[in-house]
Amino acid sequence: MRFFAVCMLAILSMTSLAVAEGAPPPRMPTAEGDKNVAVPETKSFGRRQEFVLPSGNIGCVYTPEGGTEVYQPADGGPELSCDRAAPRYVRATLSRNGAANLFHDVGDQSCCSAGPVLDYGQTWTAGPFSCLSTRRGLSCERDGGHSFFLSRRRIDAN
Angle at 70 between CA 47 and CA 143, to 5 degrees: 50
| Mean pLDDT estimate for the chain | 80
More confident residue, 82 or 23: 82
Q: Where are the domains of the chain?
A: 49-157
Across 19-45, average pLDDT: 45
For residue 43, what pLDDT band results from cuts at 50, 70 and 90?
A: low
More confident residue, 143 or 30: 143
Position 149 pLDDT exceeds 50: yes
- pLDDT for residue 3: 44
- pLDDT for residue 113: 79
- pLDDT for residue 134: 98
Peptide bond into 64 cis (omega under 30): no
Kindly report the number of other CB atoms within 10 A of residue 141's CB atom.
19
Chain center to CA of 43? 10
Position 36 pLDDT exceeds 80: no
Position 40 pLDDT exceeds 70: no
Query: Cβ(23)–Cβ(115) under 8 Å?
Result: no
- pLDDT for residue 44: 56
Query: Cβ(74)–Cβ(65) under 8 Å?
Result: no
Rounded CA-CA distance 20/141 in Å is 67
